[in-house]
Chains A and B, each alone.
Chain A
Amino acid sequence: MLEIKGLTAEVDGKPILKGVDLIVPQGEVHAIMGPNGSGKSTLAYVLSGRDGYEVTGGTALLHGQDLLAMEPEERAAAGVFLAFQYPVELPGVGNATFLRTALNAIRRAKGESEFDAMQFLKLARERMKALSMNDEMLKRGVNVGFSGGEKKRNEILQMALLQPKLAILDETDSGLDIDALKIVADGVNAMRGPDFSALVITHYQRLLDYIVPDRVHVLMGGRIVRSGGPELAKELEAQGYGAIQAAA
C-alpha cells in the first residue's frame, strides 16, 4: 500500500506540491489526471527520489517503509518503478546489458540469485514476446534511435522484467498510436494482482479505456482536488478541467 500524507515539495525554491494526500491500497491501480504543469511529473520524481525535487513536508510510505528516506536505487529495490515521461538515452550501453544489470542489481538487493546471460536472454525473450516486441531491440543502445513508441514500450518491458510492487507510469500513453497503446495497457494489465499497485499518470481518458482504474484523482495546483471512480475520467473528458477548478 502507498500512503502519501501532506506531501509538499519544491523545485528551484518554487513550491510545486502543496499538500498531496493519496492512498493506493495494495492491488489497486489509480489514475492521476490533471492539466499541464499541475505537478504530476513532480510527484513521480519526488516518489522516486530525483535530485532537485526537494521534499519540504509530509510523508510517503510504501508498505510502511519510509520512501523519502531512501536513495533512488533503494526505492527501486523496495519495488518502486518509474516509467519515464521522457525515457533517457544511454549511448553505447546495450539495451540487454542495461536490462540485465538493472535486473541483477534489484535481485541482489532482494537477496535473490543473479541471472547469467543465458537465463536473462530466455526471460527477456519471453517477456518481449508477450509484449509483441522484436528482440532486435535488445541489441541496440538504450533508447538510442528509438521512436517515441519504442521508448515507451521499452519502459514497459523494463517494468515486466523488474516486477515492481509500485509502478508509476508518467504519461506513458502520450505519443502512442492505438496499437502501441494496447500493448502498453496489456503490459500493465498483465501485472495486475494482489502484490502490484500502480499510479497511472495521464492526460487523456483514452488510456483508461484499456487500463480501467480503481480510482481516478485530479491533481491541480499541487493538490489532489477531486477523487472518484472511473467515471470521473469520462466527466473530465466531457467537461474539461475548468469545471473542476471552478468547483474546487
Chain B
Amino acid sequence: MPAVTETIETVQAVTDSTYKWGFETDIEMEFAPKGLSEDIVRFISAKKEEPAWLLEWRLRAFAAWQKMEEPRWPSVKYPPIDYQDAYYYAAPKQKVGPKSLDEVDPELLRTYAKLGIPLREQAILAGVEGAGESPAEGRMPIAIDAVFDSVSVATTFKDRLAKDGIIFCPISEAVKTHPELVRKYLGSVVPQGDNFFAALNSAVFTDGSFVYIPKGVRCPMELSTYFRINAKSTGQFERTLVIADAGSHVSYLEGCTAPMRDENQLHAAVVELVAMDDATIKYSTVQNWYPGDAEGKGGIYNFVTKRGACRGARSKISWTQVETGSAITWKYPSCILQGEDSVGEFYSVAITNNYQQADTGTKMFHIGPRTKSTIISKGISAGHGQNTYRGLVRIGAKATGARNFTQCDSLLIGDLCGAHTVPYIENRCMTAKVEHEATTSRIAEDQLFYCRQRGLSQEDAVGLIVNGFCREVLKELPMEFAVEAQKLLQISLEGSVG
C-alpha cells in the first residue's frame, strides 16, 4: 500500500529526465582490444587467471558460435550487430579482487550509492535495528554482488553467509576457490552451443555471481547481484550459476542499469539454476537497462538465456521478472522439470513504451511425473512499443499427471503499440492437463476519469491501474523489490497517455 504513494512521489521527483540511472562514472578503465577473436577469448581467460579446462571450454564455445547464425525468429527488428565493433572486456583499474570494502575504489562506492545500492554492510544492519517498532516492515539485509562492466567490484555479507556454508561470490572467484563445483555445473543447464547468444556468452563471459546453498540450509537473507554497464561500446556478458542442494532454499534478486547513450549496447547473459531434491530457488529480476530515448535512439539489447533445472524430486524454481528497460528484450527464462512432483513458475511483467520491443516468455519442459507449472504473463504496450509473449509448454510421454496453467494478459495504452501472444503447446501425455487463458484490454476512459475525479493526476491514475493489472506478478517479488518495481512501472510509462 505505501508503494503507490511512493510511486507517485518518485514520479514527481523525476521531472525532466525520466531515466535517472543514466549517468556515467568517470573512472580509469582497462579494456581488451576491440573485436572478437580466439585471441580475445584467450585474453579474457588469462586476465581472469583461469585454469586450462575453462579456457578450452570457452574456445569450444567460440568455435560453435562462429558456425551459428543470429536468431531471426523473434518479433523484434534491429540493424545488424557488428560483433567486431565492441569491447569484450572492460574493468575499472584497481587492485584485482579487493579483499574488503575499504579497498574498493571510492568512486565505485559513490556510483552504487547513487544507484541506491548499499555496499556498506553496517549501514544496512543499522537499518534493521532502526526498524524495531514494526518488525513486519523491517528491512532484511540483502547480500550484494556488484558487477561493474566486466568484473565484480564488491560482494557483501560473504563472511556471514559462509557461516552457514553458503558460497556467494563472483563466478571468477569461484573458479579458483571451488573449481569442482563450477566445473560440474557450468554449462550443465545451458550448454555452450545452446543458442547463438549463449555460445557468445560462453566464449567471452567475464563475471557474474556464483551461489551454492548446502543441503538443508535456508539462506538467511536475500542474495542479489547488481549489474551496471558503464563503459562505452562495451558488451556485458555475465554468467550466473545458482545451485541449491537438497532441501535448501534461496531467494535471489537481480537488478541492472546503464548510462544513457545514443549507441546500442549488447547485454548477453546466461543464468543457470540447479535445484536438487526438495530445494527451492526463487529468482527475481527487475530489468531496468536504459531503454533508449523517446525516438528509439540508443538503449541496451538484452539477449539473455536463463534456464533452471529442477533435477530433484519436489524441487521448485520460480522466475519472477519485471522488464521495464532495454531497447530490445529477448529472453525466455525456462524450467526443466525433471524431478517428480517438481514445480516451475514464471511470473512476468514486460513493459514497452516509445520504441521498445520485447519478445519474452518462458519454456516449461515437463519430464517427470506430476510436474506442475504456472505461467502468468502481463504485457503492457504504450507508445510505439511492441510486446510479444512467446511460450512453450512441452509435456513428455512420462510426465503422467503433469499440469500447466498459463495466463497471458496484455494491456494496450494508445493506438500505435502492439501486443502479440504466441503460445506453443506440445503434449505427449494423455493424463496431463494444460490450460491457457489470454486477454487483451485497454485502460478504459471511465477508469481514468474515476481516478481523476478522486484527485489523481492522469499519470498517477495510469500508474495505479497498471500496477493493479500487474498485481499477481508484483506480489511474487520480495517486498523491497516490489516497491522499486512499482515505481519503475510508472516511470516507464511517463508521457504514454494524454
Q: Which residues of A contact B (CB under 8 A)?
A: 48-52, 71-73, 75-77, 80-82, 84, 87-94, 96-98, 100-102, 104-106, 109, 114, 116-117, 141-142, 158, 162
- Given the known interface contacts A90-B465, A92-B469, A92-B472, the answer about A104 and B454 at a Cβ–Cβ threshold of 8 Å is no
Q: List 14 A-B contacts (CB under 8 A).
A: A52-B445, A72-B452, A72-B453, A73-B455, A73-B456, A84-B450, A88-B450, A89-B447, A90-B464, A93-B468, A93-B471, A101-B8, A105-B457, A117-B2
**Of A51, A117, A141, which one neighbours B449 at CB under 8 angstroms?**
A51
Tell me if A162 and B1 are in contact (CB < 8 A).
Answer: no
Known A76-B452, A81-B453, A84-B450; further 15 A-B contacts with Cβ < 8 A? A50-B449, A51-B449, A73-B458, A76-B455, A90-B468, A92-B468, A93-B465, A97-B4, A101-B8, A102-B456, A105-B8, A105-B454, A109-B455, A142-B468, A162-B455
**Of B1, B445, B454, which one neighbours A51 at CB under 8 angstroms?**
B445
| Interface residues in B433-451 (C-beta closer than 8 Å to A) | 444-447, 449-451
Give the interface residue-count category, chain B.
20 to 34
User: 8 closest A-B pairs (Cβ-Cβ)?
Assistant: A92-B468, A93-B468, A92-B471, A102-B454, A105-B455, A88-B450, A72-B452, A76-B455
B469 CB → nearest A CB, Å: 6
- Given the known interface contacts A92-B467, A101-B4, the answer about A77 and B455 at a Cβ–Cβ threshold of 8 Å is yes
Prevailing SS type, chain B contact patch: helix
Cβ-closest chain B residue relative to A115: B5
B169 CB → nearest A CB, Å: 38
Number of A-B residue pairs having CB atoms within 8 Å of each other in the complex: 96
Tell me if A94 and B450 are in contact (CB < 8 A).
Answer: no
Tell me if A117 and B1 are in contact (CB < 8 A).
Answer: yes
Q: Which residues in A have their C-beta under 8 angstroms from that of B5?
A: 100-101, 104, 114
Tell me if B472 and A82 are in contact (CB < 8 A).
Answer: no
B111 CB → nearest A CB, Å: 32
**A242 CA / B154 CA spacing, docked (Å):** 82
Q: Which residues in A have their C-beta under 8 angstroms from that of B449?
A: 50-51, 72, 88
Cβ-closest chain A residue relative to B456: A105
When each residue 157-171 of chain B gets 1 if its CB lies under 8 Å from chain A and 0 otherwise, what string results?
000000000000000
Q: Which residues in B have their C-beta under 8 angstroms from that of A94?
A: 1
Q: Which residues in A have their C-beta under 8 angstroms from that of B450?
A: 84, 87-88, 90
A10 CB → nearest B CB, Å: 17
**A187 CA / B469 CA spacing, docked (Å):** 32
Cβ-closest chain B residue relative to A77: B455
- Given the known interface contacts A73-B455, A76-B454, A109-B455, the answer about A88 and B4 at a Cβ–Cβ threshold of 8 Å is no
